[in-house]
């Protein structure tokens, strides 16, 4: 029998980014025993890379800000497809979560009078992003880790063991969720260094595994973003929603090729940087879409005045939501007005002093200096769209973060609904804090409510171990041996070229055919060597997840015959209000299969509560809703 290391916890959190750590803290503070498992080193989660800041309507930079304004901005950014209850909870609770971080030891940048400073970002009416220079995510993770250490010290004082109630399992990848009668019973995985198997028996699992960006060639995401949580949930019986919505951040590096896709923070534009094409034109003024007409400056003079006097001027269209800016850059390049390396120019050098740039954007200064030999205080950057964030994810109950599978919870980028069709910058870090906490609470309440706990079946453990070891077996059924790296490259190219920023039905159909072929070839994937640190083997296992999420994106993208947020169909270029209320739900056809096929069904969202609905002008709602949906609106019936 395969040797498996065993542990038992009340709650297992998979993922040690912002969402995972906040869930851990909450569940542990409720008195439960908690394990946090992460496939990278502890402290190296993707959240660390977050630069610009964390959106919360504290009103420090402009007293007119408040949760209602943040809620409205988030719904507009998501083109009214957001789960409105999540958007409401997020807007209401984000300020408290930011302040709470300071009680853990975080220190955000300050205004002159000592309050938390807030910066401008795309789609936010007021300066709203609490930040620590351009290293905000690092501060989030640092302070939550510090909080975890302090909780462990309390445990030492009480139990003589730092890890009595909270233990970190770093560099440990989960490959299967185990269930009994449909409810979560545990999670199975392997230590990356030794390859040895490990089993966590637990009635509650919180997925906080982040995104899916590694399914695309050009991405700002790190190696971890292979959609593991999305795939684990799907295979355990949960649904994914909104998978057609993938955010292409408008400003990734385009040169040199080795760093293509690395993010250039929106903070550059928030702090005054502007986009120009090869003719020197500030082209964004030509790309304000109808739904945002009247809300953005129409001249360069007004846009520039807005930075100093936001109450009497409209904001620059350089700060339109990301989907709009990414599409505009794409068009400029396609029409021949791009920069030498296939992007456009982002100019901060001519807008502020060299000292100011280095003070406000230290990481950007070093990033360009070291990676591209460009001095951003003296010359413009070249930037272009890069796959950045997935709006789609595990469908959860907004208040408890529970999925459709009893005992399975999700928070952060791997969950879906909060951001609708497009996320506003800064709304992820606040999402992690708000819903990470709620997931920890939800899991704790669930565990407390159980009379008995599901148990892990030994058969399921043996099946999980066999599936994990399959890449070491010679291919069967006459299949050719396949190299995981080759398959990964083909999958990334397929998604990047055919289901990328602009899509058409024939392209997506071709992508689905190619993904089908990759599915067949994955059965023959074979790796050499043994289980001790073997990156080829790790990739072979991750590939299954990448394929599942890619199929979700492609199938949902084919089905949605309109353009909205992070989903642009060249053959259906307009936003269609008949689609606004429709969620496309991905589920697995055969949960036992390592790579099940994906089925997509449509369902309607719950209508928005009246008090929230009344926060919007009828004239704005008319841009998104159908006449039927607005028939009972008080202004129409009056
Ligand atoms: P992560 O922080 O990625 O954590 C995922 C965790 O899951 C990791 O610990 C990983 O090891 C673990 N994991 C994954 N799979 C497994 C598995 N199978 N087994 C075990 N562990 C697993 N958002 C903002 O709001 N503001 C910003 O300024 C901002 N800047 C950004 C800059 C960059 C360069 C990037 C890439 C993103 C930025 N974002 C920003 C987005 C934001 O950082 C992410 O959406 C967010 O950090 C995701 O957090 P998370 O907790 O969901 O996942």
pLDDT at residue number 1: 62
- In terms of DSSP bridges, do strands 598-604 and 11-14 run parallel, antiparallel, or are they unpaired? unpaired
Give, using CA atoms, the residue closest to atom 4 of ligand 1.
Answer: 17
Domain that holds residue 286: 254-386
Rounded Cα distance between 223 and 34, Å, is: 26
Q: Give a yes or no: residue 621 inside a domain.
A: yes
* Integer Cα distance of 20 and 320 in angstroms: 30
CA of 533 to the centre of ligand 1 (A): 23
Tell me: pLDDT of 638 over 80: no
Which of 386, 414, 445 terminates a domain? The answer is 386
Q: Quick one: pLDDT at residue 625?
A: 96
Q: Give me ligand 1 centre to Cα 305, in Å.
A: 35
Spatial neighbors of 306 by CB under 8 A, at least 6 apart, are 297, 313, 314, 315, 316
Classify strands 582-588 and 240-241 as parallel, antiparallel or unpaired: antiparallel
Per-residue pLDDT for 258 more than 90? no
Pocket probe mutation, ligand 1, options 118, 133, 209, max atoms within 8 Å of Cβ: 209
Nearest CA to ligand 1 atom 6: 15
Q: What is the mean pLDDT of residues 429-441?
A: 98
Of 339, 359, 386, the one marking the end of a domain is: 386
Q: Of the candidates 74, 76, 9, 72, which has an alpha carbon nearest to the alpha carbon of residue 37?
A: 9
Report the pLDDT averaged over residues 518-537. 95
Confidence of residue 322 (pLDDT cuts 50, 70, 90): confident
The side-by-side arrangement of strands in the sheet containing 246-253 is: 246-253, 381-390, 344-347, 274-276
Count of CB atoms within 10 A of residue 590's CB?
10
Pocket test for ligand 1, best of 127, 210, 386, 542 (most atoms within 8 A of CB): 210
Q: Would 262 be classed as within a structural domain?
A: yes
Nearest alpha-carbon partner for 189 in 44, 34, 396, 12 = 12
Q: What percent of the chain has pLDDT over 70?
A: 100
CA of 227 to the centre of ligand 1 (A): 11
The C-alpha atoms of residue 222 and residue 208 are separated, in whole angstroms, by: 15
Beta partners for 445?
none
Ligand 1 atom closest to the Cα of residue 20 is 51
Q: Quickly tell me which residue has 């949760």 as its tokens.
A: 67
Looking at the domain assignment, is residue 496 inside a domain? no
Q: For the stretch 535-566, what's the b/e string if a residue is b when 16 or more beta carbons lie within 10 angstroms of its beta carbon? A: eebbbbbbbbbbbbbbbbbbbbbbebebbbbb
Q: Which residue's C-alpha comes closest to atom 46 of ligand 1? A: 47
Q: pLDDT per residue over 408-428, tens digit each?
A: 999 999 999 999 999 999 999
Question: What is the domain count for the chain?
Answer: 2
CB 37 within 8 A of CB 14: yes
pLDDT in tens, 196-215: 999 999 999 999 999 999 99
Please give the average per-residue pLDDT across 257-273, as a whole number: 90
Per-residue pLDDT at 89:
98
Q: Is residue 600 part of a domain?
A: no
Indicate the pTM of the whole model: 0.94
Q: What is the CATH number for 282?
A: 3.90.700.10
Is the pLDDT score of 56 beyond 90?
yes
Which position among 28, 322, 360, 438 bears the catalytic label?
322
Q: Which of 386, 404, 428 is the last residue of a domain?
A: 386
Which residues have C-beta atoms less than 6 Å from ligand 1?
14-20, 37-40, 45-47, 49-54, 136-137, 173-174, 208-210, 220-221, 224, 228, 263, 389, 412-413, 425-429, 432
Q: Ligand 1 mean position to 221 CA, how many Å?
A: 8
Is 322 known to be catalytic?
yes
Q: State which H helix or E strand residue 87 sits in.
A: helix 84-103
Q: Where do we find the tokens 């069904």?
A: 601
DSSP string across 367-402: HHHHHH---TTTSPEEEEEEEEEE--EEE--TTT-B
User: Which of 441, 397, 443, 440 is closest to 417 using CA atoms?
Assistant: 397
Whether pLDDT at 130 is above 70: yes
For residue 336, is it within any domain? yes
Residue 353: both structure tokens together: 């002093």
């Amino acid at each position: 029998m395969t040797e498996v290391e065993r542990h038992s916890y009340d709650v297992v959190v998979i993922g040690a980014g912002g969402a995972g750590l906040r869930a851990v803290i909450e569940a542990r503070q409720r008195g439960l025993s908690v394990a946090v498992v992460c496939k990278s080193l502890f402290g190296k989660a993707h959240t660390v890379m977050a630069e610009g800041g964390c959106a919360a309507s504290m009103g420090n930079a402009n007293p007119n800000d408040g949760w209602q304004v943040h809620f409205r901005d988030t719904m507009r950014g998501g083109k009214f497809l957001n789960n409105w209850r999540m958007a409401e909870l997020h807007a209401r609770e984000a300020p408290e979560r930011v302040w709470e971080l300071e009680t853990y030891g975080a220190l955000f940048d300050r205004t002159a009078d000592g309050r938390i400073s807030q910066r401008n970002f795309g789609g936010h009416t007021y300066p709203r992003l609490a930040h620590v220079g351009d290293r905000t995510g690092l501060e989030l993770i640092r302070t939550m880790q510090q909080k975890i250490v302090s909780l462990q010290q309390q445990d030492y004082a009480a139990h003589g063991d730092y890890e009595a109630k909270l233990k970190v399992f770093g560099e440990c990848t989960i490959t299967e969720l185990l269930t009994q009668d449909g409810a979560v019973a545990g999670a199975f995985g392997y230590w990356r260094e030794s390859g040895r198997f490990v089993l966590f028996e637990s009635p509650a699992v919180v997925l906080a595994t982040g995104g899916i960006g590694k399914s695309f060639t050009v991405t700002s995401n790190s190696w971890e973003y292979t959609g593991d949580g999305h795939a684990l949930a799907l295979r355990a019986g949960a649904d994914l929603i909104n998978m057609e919505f993938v955010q292409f951040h408008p400003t990734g590096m385009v040169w040199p090729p080795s760093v293509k896709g690395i993010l250039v923070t929106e903070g550059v534009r928030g702090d005054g940087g502007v986009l120009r094409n090869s003719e020197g034109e500030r082209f964004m003024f030509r790309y304000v879409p109808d739904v945002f007409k009247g809300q953005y400056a129409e001249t360069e003079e007004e846009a520039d005045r807005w930075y100093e006097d936001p109450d009497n001027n409209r904001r620059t269209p350089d700060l339109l939501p990301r989907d709009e800016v990414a599409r505009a850059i794409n068009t400029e390049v396609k029409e021949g007005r791009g920069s030498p390396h296939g992007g456009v120019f982002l100019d901060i050098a001519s807008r502020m002093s060299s000292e100011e740039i280095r003070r406000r954007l230290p990481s950007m200064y070093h990033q360009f200096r070291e990676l591209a030999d460009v001095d951003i205080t003296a010359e413009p950057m070249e930037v272009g769209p890069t796959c950045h964030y997935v709006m789609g994810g595990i469908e959860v109950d907004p208040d408890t973060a529970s999925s459709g599978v009893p005992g399975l919870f999700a928070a952060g980028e791997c969950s879906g609904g909060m951001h609708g069709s497009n996320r506003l910058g800064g709304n992820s870090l606040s999402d992690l804090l708000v819903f990470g906490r709620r997931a920890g609470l939800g899991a704790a309440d669930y565990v407390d409510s159980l009379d008995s706990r599901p148990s892990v079946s030994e058969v399921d453990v043996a099946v999980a171990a066999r599936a994990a070891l399959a890449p070491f077996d010679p291919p069967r059924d006459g299949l050719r041996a396949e190299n995981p790296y080759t398959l990964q490259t083909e999958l990334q190219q397929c998604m990047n070229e055919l289901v990328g920023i602009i899509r058409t039905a024939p392209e997506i159909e071709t992508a689905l055919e190619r993904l089908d072929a990759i599915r067949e070839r994955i059965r023959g994937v074979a790796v050499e060597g043994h289980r001790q640190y073997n990156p080829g083997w790790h990739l072979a296992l991750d590939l299954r997840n990448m394929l599942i999420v890619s199929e979700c994106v492609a199938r949902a993208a084919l089905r949605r015959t309109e353009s909205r947020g992070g989903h642009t169909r060249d053959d259906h270029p307009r936003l269609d209000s008949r689609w606004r209320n429709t969620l496309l739900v991905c589920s697995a056809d055969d949960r036992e299969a390592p790579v099940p096929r994906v089925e997509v069904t449509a369902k309607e969202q719950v209508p928005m509560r009246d008090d929230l609905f009344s926060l919007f002008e009828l004239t704005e709602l008319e841009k998104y809703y159908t006449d039927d949906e607005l028939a009972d609106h008080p202004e129409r019936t009056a």
